[in-house]
Amino acid sequence: MTVTGLLDGPGAELLADACASYQPGQELQLVEKLRRQYDAALVTTAVTQASLRHRAVAKFGPDAARMFFTPDGLEQATRSTVGSHRAQRIAATLPGSSVVDLGCGIGGDLIGAARAGLRVTGVERDPATAAAARANLSALGLPGEVVVGDAESFDLAPYDVVFADPARRADGRRVFDHNAYSPPWTFVTELLSRTACVKVAPGIPHDAVPDGVEAEWISDAGEVKEAALWSGRLYAGTARRATLLPSGASVTEAPEAESGPVGQYIYEPDGAVVRAGLVTAVAAAVDGWLLDPRIAYVTAAKLVPTPLASAYEVVEELPYKEKALRSWVRTHGIGTLEIKKRGVDLDPAQLRKKLTPKGSASATLIITRIGRDAVAYSCRRVSG
Ligand SMILES: C[S@@+](CC[C@H](N)C(=O)[O-])C[C@H]1O[C@@H](n2cnc3c(N)ncnc32)[C@H](O)[C@@H]1O
């Protein structure tokens, strides 16, 4: 059952009722109650929709209450913060341009683009998903069209910009290999010979990015969400960029950096900076150096606030030995223990369990490798 039955008339009334009474975990009771008043098949669709709207708040904020979803469509949709960041970059470079979104899903990216004043056309091969995208533009009062069709045979000539967010799921499972995208990677790389923006998984290998294309790793609230590939007139002359939302801080250069002994502070670069291979930009920003040339921790003598990294004050260096760490936890009465690690093979959750934290103090343990040696630093989180 598609969302079309819920767009107007009794279906819309039913959906409003379902959303008003919806409580997670109480779906069966709600279905039973609504069936007394409405058509049974439509009730299930409406309650599913109410549950999807509830989940969608994390991605779409208050807009979710007016939007329409399919379970897969919501799962794969771009969160509005990231979608609007990309859309604004397109609008700033090519204001008012026409954008075709190949495989638009439920329209997460279409919405951001339409709001940025771009003229949008979505192409989606799944009719139910396309219906949700169409309903979303209309529910949010945004202009644009959605066509059911195959991205690979769609005529791109009339559009200034091509956007694609290839499906990264096969049989309900997430696909990490970019060669398994749909539409396929061969098609995506062809798109990158025109003015295009393509969203890919953040694990994309640097050498898979074609020459003359920028890869922008984007994080939101400290979590790396995606890499966006920019080509043609959207290429800004830089190969790699890290952008951190919500601040919008962005870096593109990786200056030379020394490595040396730990200073008073350790900085943990944001994941987007790490993925983009721009860790030395953090060293430059905080007047610091690397702890080890191959590990993404920066250290410095001073505390310099930066949106690019979280800062920790080093309290003491500890041997990376379970017994020594357990005694440190006990002596300091540490009950809340955050464990950070890079370059060492360990499971922080398991180690935390073994160290049996108990008490009212809290601390961060940073475990890393310097040369061949594993070291641990007891730290106090100061920012980020
Ligand atoms: C990752 S989702 C897009 C999500 C969208 N950017 C959003 O924010 O809501 C990819 C979509 O591409 C569609 N798709 C995959 N291959 C396609 C093709 N060859 N032609 C048209 N649509 C396709 C899938 O059905 C899926 O809905």
pLDDT score at 181: 86
* C-alpha distances out from residue 43 to 35, 66, 129, Å: 6, 18, 19
Please give the mean pLDDT across all residues of the chain: 95
67 within a domain of the structure (yes/no)? no
| Ligand 1 contacts CB of residue 201 (under 6 A) | no
* One domain for residues 225 and 327: no
* DSSP 3-state of 133: helix
The pLDDT, as a whole number, for residue 175 is 60
Collapsing DSSP states into helix, strand and coil, what is residue 244?
A: strand
Are 80 and 49 in the same domain? no
For residue 208, being part of any structural domain is answered with yes
Nearest to 185, CA basis, from 210, 150, 206: 210
Quick one: 115 and 226 in the same domain?
yes
- Whether residues 86 and 221 fall in one domain: yes
Say if residue 238 is in the same domain as residue 273.
no
> Taking a C-beta distance cutoff of 8 angstroms, is the pair 313, 267 a contact?
no
The answer to whether residues 299 and 376 belong to one domain is yes
Could you tell me if 113 and 198 lie in one domain? yes
Q: Ligand 1 centroid to 42 CA: how many Å?
A: 26
* Residue 257: inside a domain: no
Buried b (16+ CB within 10 A) or exposed e, 108-117: bbbbbbbbbe
Domain containing 26 equals 3-58
pLDDT of 322 reads 94
Q: Are 329 and 378 in contact (CB under 8 A)?
A: no
Q: Model's pTM, two decimal places?
A: 0.93
Distance from the CA of 130 to the center of ligand 1, in angstroms? Answer: 9
**Residue 183 beta carbon below 6 angstroms from any ligand 1 atom:** yes
Do 34 and 83 have their domain in common? no
Tell me: do 231 and 345 sit in the same domain.
Answer: no
Contacts of 299 (CB under 8 A, 6+ apart): 260, 261, 262, 263, 265, 266, 267, 288, 289, 290, 291, 314
Mean pLDDT computed over 89-99: 98
3-state helix, strand, coil in the chain (%, to 5): 35, 30, 35
Contact predicate 380/311, CB 8 Å: no
Residues 151-186 have pLDDT tens digits of 999 999 999 999 999 997 666 566 667 778 889 999
d(CA 289, CA 50): 51
pLDDT 10s digits, 105-157: 999 999 999 999 999 999 999 999 999 999 999 999 999 999 999 999 999 99
Does 129 sit in the ligand 1 pocket, CB within 6 Å? yes
Q: Is residue 251 part of a domain?
A: no
Q: What is the pLDDT of residues 22-57, one digit of tens each?
A: 999 999 999 999 999 999 989 999 999 999 999 999
**Same domain membership, residue 284 and residue 185:** no
